[in-house]
């Protein structure tokens, strides 16, 4: 019947009637029927205390909270969940189905104009090194935890909680740690259906095509009638650049399970990467109908509208996405890009700085590489506002994340040009061209700066500022005198030659008479 609103109401009633009805709760979460705020409201409205004992209520809340969305507000993990993970040696890297796929569909950065990010949302926890802190904390906490939370400690080997932790790391853009954790989970359960989508997404982000190829074929051999194997195969062809084959297998995944949101998003990305904006938006619109509680389809639709220069419509979709996930820094960044395109540089700087502050709350220390475009775009905006020192600071921070980015080098060089520091500009433009020889902007600007340097600098020390003026009339007089002397000399030589010829003729005549 495709009446998702009525289905959601029925699931809520079933869950309120029996809080142990996990199937109803899983359907609400799995198919993105509720927003993050609605999920929190539902969880607080459940009569858990009246239907469960205190110990059971604590365990049930811990398990349910681990399934909720992890991007609507960046906070620390729930206390109960943290206690379990800190005491769980199996949750370390060595020892809910994903609602969206993290696939970059467009270029993240251009030298002068800010580009757009098409990436997933960010998690609640604020430290990418949470697994390292777990190892330090578990040494001092297990005795206290085991004495006060005996029942909770029974969940320490729960793969569902470890998958929830991996999902949090994934949304935190900490793909390496997430991949290690998902691999550990899959070693214990090779076909964990809640872990596979996030593991596939991590491999897409890390460009691990060989592992994804093996995983996809193994899944196809075992579960050819499920959507997840064909989703994995489609993602493999996507990351190796074969969009046609990717669309073929992703389409098969959506045919087997038309409610599988990640396949619809990946299907849209396969069009977007080839700049086929209409087909991409059609796939994203379908995903938005199926995933009403997820803001990602709306974010991607707004992104496509921005790329087609439909700025007003893009801003409307970003507003709708922000209504679902108000604290998502990716939405803040995209709103800043739209403001930059409209030449509203102060507004753009505001959105960019808000996004950066949100990322810093989530990530302590060096932020992930995914946010390099945000730093560069902040640098571009500050340059437009003539805040050159701030622009250099942001570009240098971006350079720490991506030291081989030619665009960042050219952006720094351009700031030095505007500061009239042409010597530094030449050096940075040369670095940019060393990484990307066919960079038209760097080549053009380098020629311009070199011309400016030739005009500014003297060709040699003590070079006069003006060309010396010579007396042209005196030179002409001297030239005429020299010409007169030369003519007189030539005439004298000619007369001598004439005398010699007369004498020779007289001698010949004398000889003939004798």
Cα dihedral sign, 359-363-368-372: positive
64-77: pLDDT as tens digits: 888 887 665 544 45
398-408: pLDDT as tens digits: 999 999 999 99
Residue 7 has pLDDT above 80, yes or no: yes
**Counting beta carbons within 10 angstroms of the beta carbon of residue 386, is it exposed (0 to 12), middle (13 to 18) or buried (19 or more)?**
exposed
Looking at residue 234, what is its pLDDT? 96
| The two structure tokens encoding residue 128 | 């990418």
137-157: pLDDT as tens digits: 444 444 444 433 566 677 777
290-345: pLDDT as tens digits: 888 899 999 999 999 999 999 999 999 999 999 998 888 999 999 999 999 999 99
Residue 462 has pLDDT above 70, yes or no: no
| The two structure tokens encoding residue 44 | 């607080």
For residue 19, what is the DSSP state? Answer: T
Residue 415's nearest CA partner among 376, 368, 362, 450 is: 376
On whether the pTM is more than 0.85, the answer is: no
Residues 188, 159 contacting (CB under 8 angstroms): yes
Cα–Cα distance measured from residue 34 to residue 21, given in angstroms and rounded to the nearest whole number: 17
For residue 349, what is the DSSP state? Answer: H
Mean pLDDT of the chain, nearest integer: 79
Domain locations along the chain: 1-65, 71-104+123-196
């Amino acid at each position: 019947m495709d009446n998702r609103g009525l289905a959601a109401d029925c699931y809520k009633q079933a869950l309120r009637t029996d809080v142990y009805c996990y199937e109803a709760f899983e359907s609400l979460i799995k198919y993105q029927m509720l927003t993050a705020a609605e999920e929190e409201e539902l969880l607080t409205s459940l009569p858990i205390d009246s239907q469960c004992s205190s110990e059971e209520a604590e365990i049930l809340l811990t398990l349910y909270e681990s399934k909720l969305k992890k991007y609507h507000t960046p906070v620390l993990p729930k206390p109960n969940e943290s206690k379990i993970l800190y005491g769980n040696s199996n949750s370390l890297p060595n020892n809910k189905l994903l609602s969206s796929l993290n696939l970059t569909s467009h270029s993240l950065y251009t030298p002068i104009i800010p580009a757009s990010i098409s990436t997933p949302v960010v998690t609640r926890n604020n430290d990418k090194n949470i697994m390292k802190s777990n190892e330090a904390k578990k040494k001092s906490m297990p005795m206290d935890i085991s004495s006060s939370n005996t029942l909770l400690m029974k969940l320490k080997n729960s793969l569902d909680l470890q998958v929830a932790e991996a999902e949090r790391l994934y949304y935190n853009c900490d793909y390496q740690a997430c991949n290690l954790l998902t691999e550990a989970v899959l070693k214990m359960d090779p076909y964990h259906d809640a872990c596979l989508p996030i593991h596939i997404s991590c491999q897409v982000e890390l460009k691990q095509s060989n592992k994804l190829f093996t995983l996809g074929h193994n899944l196809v051999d075992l579960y050819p009638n499920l959507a997840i194997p064909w989703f994995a195969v489609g993602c493999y062809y996507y990351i190796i650049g074969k969009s046609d084959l990717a669309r073929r297998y992703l389409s098969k995944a959506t045919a087997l399970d038309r409610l599988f949101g990640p396949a619809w998003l990946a299907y849209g990305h396969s069009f977007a990467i080839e700049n086929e904006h209409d087909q991409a938006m059609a796939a994203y619109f379908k995903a938005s109908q199926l995933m009403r509680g997820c803001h990602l389809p709306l974010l991607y639709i707004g992104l496509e509208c921005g790329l087609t220069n439909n700025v007003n419509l893009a801003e409307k979709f970003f507003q709708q996405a922000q209504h679902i996930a108000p604290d998502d820094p990716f939405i803040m960044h995209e709103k800043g890009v739209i403001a930059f395109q409209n030449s509203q540089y102060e507004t753009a700087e505001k959105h960019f700085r808000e996004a950066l502050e949100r990322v810093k709350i989530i990530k302590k220390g060096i932020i992930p590489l995914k946010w390099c475009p945000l730093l560069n775009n902040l640098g571009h905006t500050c340059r437009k506002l003539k805040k050159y020192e701030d622009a250099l600071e942001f570009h240098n921070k971006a350079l720490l994340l991506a030291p081989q980015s030619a665009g960042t080098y050219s952006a720094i060089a351009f700031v030095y040009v505007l500061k009239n520091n042409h010597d530094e500009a030449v050096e940075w433009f040369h670095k940019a061209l060393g990484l990307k020889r066919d960079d038209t902007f760097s080549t053009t600007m380098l020629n311009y700066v070199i011309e400016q340097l030739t005009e500014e600098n003297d060709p040699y020390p003590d070079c006069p500022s003006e060309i010396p003026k010579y007396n042209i009339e005196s030179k002409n007089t001297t030239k005429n005198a020299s010409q007169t002397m030369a003519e007189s000399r030539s005439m004298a030589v000619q007369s001598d030659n004439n005398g010699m010829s007369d004498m020779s003729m007289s001698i010949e005549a004398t000889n003939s008479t004798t």
